Chains A and B, each alone.
Chain A
């Protein structure tokens, strides 16, 4: 585990005053006997008292320990220590006894496995009740969709948003949150731009596809049935994924990450590619809005040696990562031309028609203006549009300086969203 970013550390502060106090702590000269290991950072901080405070951070939590009397958690000493570590001012060292015993004790503490069930029979009953509810919801959705196409979407402009929102809420009640999300997305399309009826039809047709697939779940190949279930919103417990999911061991190159803050939930998508297997993986991390996300297992452009356990599905992407060794530097990855990149996306859609996001590494691409926005053009002159709107292109442009470069990003049908690019051999987080 290597140093985090300064912003990442400041993100752990319980309030702005703590962040400021922590920066002051980090700058002082009163730190001594600091050190860091793969799992912890520690040091002594001379406070106003005679005895220096013992400060330690368990990086796996992260969890904090400090002998100061502060009620803030984490306290300014712990944050200051992490800041020094983040700016490279804490060197590696052997854990002293007071650190080692604390971290060992934490590691030994049994963790309640997520998804572990106490009463299998009750659980089965719950599952079957839910299945009934989902089926009822799907039936309702099917007849609603049929009504819409018979009566026409033309009047939708006025009534659509409220109607679709109500429908989305009904799908949440039906314990089909995946479909509820799709319906909400469809509601967002209505009235937006001239082409909205076409886009709305696309969205509704894919919801229809989910509903239709649900109707013949038993006839589908098992992996496709799993994909349909996950589209509807059945989640697979992490314990089951770890126990039964497909396992792939590799050095996983971190292609990049996309963080999407939302009103209630921050989502982080971390995309991985196996160095030897070439397999792709997606690690999803969630945090309540305003709360920090777990630290990354490695920076974009580095390897995480470890094992992925894939969630079931016809296009295994989402996975859980079990890290087996410290992160490693990685060379610049090989990538695709625009043609090859689109072809790889087509293959994914052929397997999973609902697939929306696809990680791509583009090789030897140069920036070009495209309308109001930007595109990346490969050596053959083929280009992919950069996602218009919210992506800030300047870092990428500055690194390129007009020279061809390798860029990893996330593709969806609105465009390519760059995550990481390589300045020579050096990965740059965008």
Chain B
């Protein structure tokens, strides 16, 4: 405003030294000022300035996020979501998001910032939050660098620009999606850029080939066994072991046969005496972990990487000479998990075989879910039930859920069941949440039983609200 700076400098220096001049001020102010002094003029000018404020011009509004919104769930469901984001039963958050998405509901957009912050350090929630954010996902990712992971949604458009020019996360997502849609094309894309990528990126991208793995990948994986990076070599070997009918499997089978003979109903083992360069190239780890000798460790790895098709289920019954039978059992368990062999997993569980560094639960996971309930009672005799079912993917089949809840309903509030109860509270599927245990009195004390019942009821109400 005209004349204002003059007022300020008079006020700064003092009117004794610099008397104020009002001639430069707008006429309206001069008219009203009369014989007023500096402060009167400043008051008029201040109000004049405030009243004369103009709107901002030439601002570019943010572009609109393209796409359509879905309907919102009922207010009571939204209130529950807000309560969970506020820290109340927040472990059910993922389940709420999945259920809402499956039923076609949107998340109210005002909750997206809190959800994005929640998922920022919890990778397992990210895909859920990307779904929940819908058309706003990449729009929000552009606004706040901390939410870049929301860009995962963009890759769904399969835009090759993201692969050639995207950031690390966008490229990774693009490759993962592309691998799902067309494994050969994804391999080709990776092969093109392979020589120029850093070791960490090579290892990361190579691991993505696990999805849609086939013989077509073999040649590339073989070449990766000679990679400069140890981590890349390790991943390549692990993947090759999963390619059916591969040269790699063939090599491992030959190695096994040179150290194992089946004769007259006995498995005779002659443990390898040294580790050849070829074996190391194929990913055999020279350094034995605690609890097993070097040579047994090498042998275990060879058998574990050998295709189960060259072995016989009947071997499980045979006596072993030359090493502890557990070495072979652990190797078979490893191979059964790697190949997802239902038959081997079933027989190993039935024989109560050693599973080495793996948990029997991992064998259980190989079985179809409807068999779990039958396998569990026998396994319970040898291991903690909570440890066994804790490794199974959730939600459990209804049969297993009912069985565990039936069991818990019978045991009162005995301390030892707390861990199983806390696993079951989250893992039983939606259709057994109405189990009779939820209608029995859970007592006044803060016991696992009460927490279990509270969680089951919380989840049941959650599903009812979202229906």
Interface residues of A (CB under 8 A from B): 6-7, 23-24, 27-30, 46-48, 86-89, 145-146, 148-154, 197-198, 201-202, 204-206, 208-209, 212, 338-339, 342, 345-346, 349-350, 353, 366-370, 375, 377, 381-385, 394-395, 397-403, 413, 423, 426, 428, 430
The answer to whether B13 touches A383, judged by C-beta atoms less than 8 angstroms apart, is no
Contact between chains at B51 and A346 (CB < 8 Å): yes
CB pair A384 B112 closer than 8 Å: no
Q: Are A149 and B17 interface neighbours, CB within 8 A?
A: no
Nearest 5 A/B pairs, CB to CB? A152-B14, A402-B64, A205-B42, A382-B55, A394-B113
Cα-based distance from A202 to B83 in the complex (angstroms): 46
Q: Is the CB of A88 within 8 A of B40?
A: no
**A342 near B55: Cβ-Cβ < 8 Å:** yes
Are B56 and A383 interface neighbours, CB within 8 A? yes
Which among A23, A87, A154, A399 is the interface contact of B12 at CB below 8 angstroms? A154
User: Nearest chain B CB to A51's CB is how many angstroms away?
Assistant: 13
Interface centre among B39, B51, B53 (most CB of A within 10 A): B39
B61 contact set on A, CB distance < 8 A:
366-368, 377, 402
> What is the CA–CA distance of A400 and B454 in the complex, to the nearest angstrom?
37
Mark B residues whose CB is within 8 Å of A. Answer: 4-5, 7-8, 10-17, 37-40, 42-43, 45-47, 50-51, 53-65, 72, 75-76, 79-80, 82-83, 86, 88-89, 108-110, 112-113, 135-136, 139-140, 143-144, 438, 441-442, 444, 446, 450, 453-454, 457-458, 461
Contact call A398/B136, Cβ cutoff below 8 A: yes
Q: Given the complex of chains A and B, what is the CA–CA distance between A176 and B61 in angstroms? A: 46
Report whether over half of chain B's contact residues are helix, strand or loop; otherwise say mixed.
Answer: helix
Decide if A28 touches B454 in the complex (CB within 8 Å). yes
- Is B113 touching A395 in the complex (CB atoms < 8 A)? yes
Contacts A201-B8, A349-B47, A398-B136 known; A384 to B144 CB distance under 8 Å?
Answer: no
Q: Which residue from chain A places its CB closest to the CB of B461 in the assembled complex?
A: A89
Question: Across the interface, which residues of B come within 8 angstroms of A48, CB to CB?
Answer: 444
Return A234 CB to nearest CB of chain B, in Å: 21
* A349 CB → nearest B CB, Å: 5
User: Is A385 touching B88 in the complex (CB atoms < 8 A)?
Assistant: no
Say yes or no: A154 contacts B13, CB within 8 Å: yes
Is A399 in contact with B442, judged by CB distance below 8 angstroms? no
CB distance from A368 to the nearest CB of B (A): 4
Please state if B12 and A202 are interface contacts (CB–CB under 8 Å).
no
Residues of A within 8 A of B140 (CB): 397-398
Q: Give the Cβ gap from A418 to chain B, nearest Cβ, in Å.
A: 12
CB distance from B81 to the nearest CB of A (A): 11
Closest B-chain residue to A366, C-beta based? Answer: B61
A46 to B442, CA, bound (A): 11
Q: How far is the CA of A88 from the CA of B16 in the complex (A)?
A: 70
The CA-CA distance from A345 to B446 in the complex, in Å, is 57
Candidates A345, A375, A397; contact of B59 at CB < 8 Å: A375
- Is the beta-carbon distance between A87 and B79 smaller than 8 angstroms? yes
Q: How far is the CB of A49 from chain B (nearest CB, A)?
A: 9
Q: Report if A206-B46 is in contact (Cβ < 8 Å); known contacts: A154-B14, A368-B61.
A: yes
Alpha-carbon distance A399/B72, docked complex (angstroms): 13
**A150 to B15, Cβ gap below 8 A?**
yes
Contacts of A366 on B, CB cut-off 8 Å? Answer: 61-62
Do the beta carbons of A152 and B59 come within 8 Å of each other? no
Contact of B88 among A6, A28, A47 (CB under 8 A): A6
Q: How far, in Å, is B339 (CB) from chain A's closest CB? A: 45
Measured between alpha carbons, how far is A212 from B42 in the docked complex, in Å? Answer: 13
Q: List 24 A-B contacts (CB under 8 A).
A: A27-B458, A30-B442, A88-B76, A152-B16, A152-B17, A153-B14, A154-B13, A154-B14, A197-B8, A197-B12, A201-B46, A205-B45, A208-B40, A368-B60, A369-B62, A375-B56, A377-B61, A397-B62, A398-B136, A401-B65, A401-B135, A401-B139, A426-B72, A428-B108
